[in-house]
Chains A and B, each alone.
Chain A
Amino acid sequence: MEQSFEIGYVFQFIPKLISTLGTTLTIVAGAVFLGLAAGFLAALPRLYRVPVLQRVSQLYVSFFRGTPILIQLFLFYFGLPEVLKQIGIDVSKAPVLFFVILTYGLHTGAAVCEMIRAAVGSVDRGQVEAAYAVGMNGYRAFTRIVFPQAIAIALPIFSNVLLALTKETSLAFSLGIMEMTGKAQSLSTLTQHFVEAYLSLALVYLAVCFLLEKLLLGVEWRLLRHERQESETRAWFRSWKKIKWRRYSSEFPLERKEAGSYEA
């Protein structure tokens, strides 16, 4: 039933797959915005230890990190209309894309919540105390002091979350969404060239992930410019004993370690 491998089909399939890239990116973009909102809302009660909401947030994160995304997709697709029908809202006519974005958004929200907790936790406690000492209130201390520092720490994690989400959207085909994987499946059954179709699918995903990675590295480079400037000024002042500085910096390489970087 299967034909022999022909490399020409790979190049023929790639433009056809790119034509459905928009659907994949729609899911990714929708899920990221929803996930950031949900994750932020879920992280706040845990950061400020709000009694009951803290437990709810824990349960939310535990569920979305403890079950596979595929199961979550099915649960929301089949379950949400039932649950909402009980309170008188009819969503059975809503497009499938709505359920898909909602599920991926909540799934991402759990990861974002953990990311925010880790990032805020890694900002030195003394920074908040110093902010209070100069008379800032809690809100200002958060928005002006903690948040800008936390976001620089969170960005590499966010980059991982985004890339994982991009790859996970390949499961949306199981609810019948015509995104890249769904398109690849229909192309492969149409032409009976399975390997070529999935190879080109892998190549398109590779390119998309690579571009996203580069984009986020650029943003990160821009966000961390305050740290870079400091080391540049220090290098300037030390230029008169450059040789010694060079030895110092080669002993303690100043490069950052990125958890799970792409080319790493």
Chain B
Amino acid sequence: MKLDPSFIWTAFTQLLSVIPTTLLITAVSVACGLIIGTAVALIRTFRVPVLAPIAAGYVTFIRGTPMLTHLLLIYFGLPIALDALAAQFGWGFRSASIPMIAFAFIAFSITAGGYASEVVRSGLLAVNRGQMEAAHSVGMTTAQALRRIVIPQAFAASLPNISNLVVGMLHASTLAFTVSVVEVTAKAQIVASTNWKFFDAYLAAALIYWGLTLLVERASGLVERRINVYDRGGVA
């Protein structure tokens, strides 16, 4: 078994066809994760009575356990819970009808939510308290102040962390192969074992992930420059 450059190219072209799946998993988990994370961060910032300890527990659990366990718990636990509920309420619903990729979406969103809540929270903390008070003093409600004053600044402050989160979820999407979703890693395994050329196939996969990561970092650099326009200092 020698390194075969032409096979790396063949594997590369075969892997290109499943990049959308990887990107879809990443995009869904980051988007849902940011929604969950913002809700959790707001609950914890405003210390909502009953919900705040639950949110803290959720974040601790997610950040203290490997992502693989979240995925496997959802994969094995959710069907049992849903079937039990369906049996109780007489829904004509079977857990077997859930597509595999849905488990990846749900589990990764829950994981991303835990990490995103810390991103959003550190962003909110980075905004000076006086900004909120100034907004109140000109007659804005808290919701208006959050939407117009605090969140835009918090977003700018947390952009590097968000880009880290995107890269993290991109890399984490490799775990989806454990629930037999065919994304880049799973496809690389298939290509590798059908041709008996493991190194070449994984090298092609590594190149794809590397390229995607560099793209994400470049894009975030561009957005960062655009979003920090207000914060350039000086006169004019």
> Which B116-151 residues have a C-beta within 8 angstroms of A?
118, 121-122, 125
Chain B residues with CB under 8 Å of A195's CB are: 73, 76-77, 80
Within the complex, which residue of B69, B118, B192, B198 is in contact with A202, where a contact is CB–CB below 8 Å? B69
Q: Which of the 9-residue segments A49-57, A59-67, A144-152 touches chain B?
A: A59-67
Overall SS of chain A's interface? helix
A261's nearest neighbour on chain B, judged by CB, is B118
Are B65 and A71 in contact, with the CB atoms below 8 A? no
Within the complex, which residue of B59, B72, B79, B203 is in contact with A75, where a contact is CB–CB below 8 Å? B203
CA distance A71 to B61 in the complex (A): 26
Are B206 and A72 in contact, with the CB atoms below 8 A? yes
Given contacts A2-B76, A70-B174, A209-B64, contact A264 B213 (CB under 8 A): no
B28 within 8 A of A: no
Q: Mark A5-45, 1 if CB is under 8 A from B, else 0.
A: 10000000000000000000000000000000000000000
Are A70 and B175 in contact, with the CB atoms below 8 A? yes
Are A66 and B209 in contact, with the CB atoms below 8 A? yes
Are B66 and A167 in contact, with the CB atoms below 8 A? yes
Given contacts A68-B171, A205-B64, contact A198 B69 (CB under 8 A): yes
Within the complex, which residue of A71, A79, A264 is in contact with B174, where a contact is CB–CB below 8 Å? A71
B235 within 8 A of A: no
CA distance A198 to B61 in the complex (A): 13
B210 within 8 A of A: yes
Are B56 and A263 in contact, with the CB atoms below 8 A? yes
In the complex, what's the smallest C-beta–C-beta distance from A61 to chain B, in angstroms?
Answer: 12
Within the complex, which residue of B59, B73, B174, B203 is in contact with A199, where a contact is CB–CB below 8 Å? B73
A58 within 8 A of B: no
> Which B159-214 residues have a C-beta within 8 angstroms of A?
167, 170-172, 174-175, 185, 188, 192, 198-199, 202-203, 205-206, 209-210, 213-214
Chain B residues with CB under 8 Å of A199's CB are: 73
In the complex, what's the smallest C-beta–C-beta distance from B179 to chain A, in angstroms?
Answer: 12
Chain B residues with CB under 8 Å of A72's CB are: 206
> Which B49-67 residues have a C-beta within 8 angstroms of A?
56, 59-61, 63-67
In the complex, what's the smallest C-beta–C-beta distance from A174 to chain B, in angstroms?
Answer: 8
Q: 10 tightest CB-CB pairs across the interface, nearest first?
A: A194-B76, A68-B171, A170-B66, A78-B198, A66-B213, A167-B66, A79-B199, A206-B64, A66-B210, A202-B65
15 A-B pairs with C-beta separation under 8 A:
A63-B206, A66-B210, A66-B214, A67-B209, A67-B210, A68-B171, A71-B185, A74-B188, A74-B202, A78-B199, A198-B73, A198-B76, A198-B77, A202-B70, A205-B65
- Give chain A's interface residues, CB within 8 Å of chain B: 2, 4-5, 62-63, 65-72, 74-75, 78-79, 82, 167-168, 170-171, 181, 188, 194-195, 198-199, 201-202, 205-206, 209-210, 257, 259-260, 262-264
